[in-house]
Structures are given as C-alpha cells and as structure tokens.
Chain A
Amino acid sequence: MKFFQRSRKNYKTMSDSELVDLAGGDKEAFGELYERYLTKIYNYVYYRTGNAQDAEDLTAKVFFRAMSHIQHYEDKGVPFQAWLYRIAHNLVANFHRDQGRRKIIPLDDYVAQSLKSEAPDKQAEANEEQAQLLAAIRRLPAERQELLLLKFIEQKSNAEIGDMMSRTEGAIKSLYHRTLLALRDELTQTSDTTTLPSTKHS
C-alpha cells in the first residue's frame, strides 16, 4: 500500500501556483484548489447576495468558470485567490443586475422577517439589527463590500487586501474609513425611515 501512497502527488503541500499549473490537466489539483477556496468564495457570495440558495448557485458557477478558464490564468503578480474573487465579483454583479429586473425578495430575508414575530423581544431586536446591518452592507458599492468581507471574514491585513484589490495599503486604510462612514450613514437613514412611521402613529 505504501508503494502507491508514496508515489502519489501530495497536493496539500503544493502552493497555489503549482496547483494552478497542474490544474489544466489534473482534476485532483483543481480539487485541492476547490477545497482551499470553497468556504471563502461561498462567504463572499453569501454576504453579497443575502441568501444561501443564491450563494450555492453562484459559488458553483464561480468554480465551473474557474475550471474552464484556468488554463488562461497567468500569475502576473495577482494571486490566484484574487482571480477567483474577480470571477465571483463579476457573477455577483450580473446576478444583481438580473435581480434588479426581476425584484425577487431574498429567501433568507423573507424567513428572517417571518421569524421576527415569533422570537422573544430581545432576540428579535438583535436579529433585526443584524439584518439591517447586513442589508446596509449590501447597499454599499461593490468594492466597499469586498473590503469589509476581506477584513471581517478572511481577516486579511490592509497590505493583503491592497494586493488583492490592486491598491496601496494607505489607500485601503482610507477606503476602510470612508466605508465605515458610509455604512454609518446608511444605518442612520434606515433607522430614520423605520422609526418615522411609528412616531407618527404614537
């Protein structure tokens, strides 16, 4: 048995660029890249679409597209991960463009709405606050959403985010500040619009 195991390629220890070189003709190499980035891409798409079903559909599309185009990928200082995120970004943009035409309510939002009335007060309030925050994030421009997801989900440093978004570390720091300001304004507007009718009633 050892005879077989020793001769097999150890994909786990390979770098991304080694795997990318192999992945054109070796599906196992692509499988390893898939294992490395599935959760990251899924999170990115999930937080940008707001529901699990769309996140699964788009994540699948991202990996199918990556697999069919991997032979065209060239490492020009842009990490493979950034290339994968670029594909995800384009597919999410297309998704939102189509959604804009169809105006479908995301399922998770719908479920959250229906659960709100059933949950105890404090929990409902916390759920509502979280839903508002996530909705406000989704209203930000794409690059700002990306920045927040890379920071809070992937826990990347400003320098790493700069590499992925082709910007300097200083520019990311500044963008992060502006993103927080924009998000705060979004949340203020949301709370103003939600509290306005209730004050009128009382």
Chain B
Amino acid sequence: MNEPQLQDLLSAFTDALLRDDYEAERLLERAVLPREAASLVSLTRRLHGSVRPIEPTAAFSRRLRADLMGEERQSLVWHWRQLPARVHIATIVALFGGFGLLIVGGVADVMRRQHNKDSATPSTVR
C-alpha cells in the first residue's frame, strides 16, 4: 500500500467511523492493512472515543448572550423599534386619536357644564 492509498484509507475510515462504527469495521474488513496503518487506525478509534463535542453550561450561554446583546435589548424603546412600520403608524394614530377623544370629551364636558349652569341660573332666581 503506497502513501496516497494509506491516506485515502485513513480518511475513509475516519469518515465512516464518525458516521457509524459498523460501517467503519466493514471498511477495514475489505482492506488489507499494513502494519503501519494498524496503529493509526487504533489511534483514530481513540480519538473518536476521546474527542467528543461538549456543551458549554447553560448559565454561561445565557450570561454571554445577555452581555453581547447589552442593556439596550431590555428597553421598551428597543422592542418598539423592532416592530414594523405599520405598527408604528397604528400606535401614532391610536395616540393622536386618544388625545383627540380626550380633548373633544373635555371640551364637550365644559360646554355641557356651561349649558347646565346657564339653564340652572333662572330657576334659582325664581
């Protein structure tokens, strides 16, 4: 087995091992392994057993995300800014409408009171 063939075999074996142990063993059964390759195959198995993905702690993930996003993320203004334009328009219309209603209501109330006052004055004289 020449060097490129050995390189191909090791790469194929590793890829198979990462997919499925059984597939990797089948691959080895079909190949004639030189002595040189046997120790490397064994080392690949060791690497597969030892170098495993690990998860960072949930607390660390949350803390770092919060640090990266900053305090701005917590503010009401930031959340409002994320909303689409039609929501902005609806909010402004609602605010102006509300103020309008309050003003109209207030004016109507003042006029009603004035009217009541005007109509009540002659009766007291009587």
Q: Is the CB of A180 within 8 A of B44?
A: yes
In the assembled complex, which residues on chain B have CB atoms less than 8 Å from the CB atom of A183?
A: 43, 47
* B29 at interface, CB cutoff 8 A: no
Q: Mark A22-55, 1 if CB is under 8 A from B, else 0.
A: 0000011011001100110011001100000001
Q: Is the CB of B52 within 8 A of A63?
A: no
In the assembled complex, which residues on chain B have CB atoms less than 8 Å from the CB atom of A142?
A: none
Q: Is the interface of A mostly helix, strand, loop or mixed?
A: helix
Which of A42, A63, A173 is close to B68, meaning CB atoms less than 8 Å apart?
A: A63
Choose, from A77-85, A110-118, A149-157, A193-201, the stretch at the interface: A149-157
Q: Mark A152-174, 1 if CB is under 8 A from B, else 0.
A: 11010110000000000000011
In the assembled complex, which residues on chain A have CB atoms less than 8 Å from the CB atom of B44?
A: 180
CA distance A59 to B70 in the complex (A): 17
Chain A CB count within 10 A is highest, among B3, B15, B55, B64, for B64
Q: Is the CB of A43 within 8 A of B39?
A: no
In the assembled complex, which residues on chain B have CB atoms less than 8 Å from the CB atom of A177?
A: 3, 6-7, 10, 40
* A91 at interface, CB cutoff 8 A: no
Q: Is the interface of B mostly helix, strand, loop or mixed?
A: helix
* A15 at interface, CB cutoff 8 A: no
CA distance A129 to B87 in the complex (A): 61
CA distance A39 to B53 in the complex (A): 8
In the assembled complex, which residues on chain A have CB atoms less than 8 Å from the CB atom of B68?
A: 27, 30-31, 34, 63-64, 67
* B56 at interface, CB cutoff 8 A: yes
Q: Is the CB of B60 within 8 A of A133?
A: no
Q: Mark B55-66, 1 if CB is under 8 A from A, else 0.
A: 110001100110
Q: Is the CB of A130 within 8 A of B73?
A: no
Q: Is the CB of A176 within 8 A of B14?
A: yes
Starting from the known contacts A7-B84, A31-B69, A42-B54, 5 additional A-B residue pairs (CB-CB under 8 Å) come to A28-B82, A38-B61, A59-B56, A60-B67, A180-B40
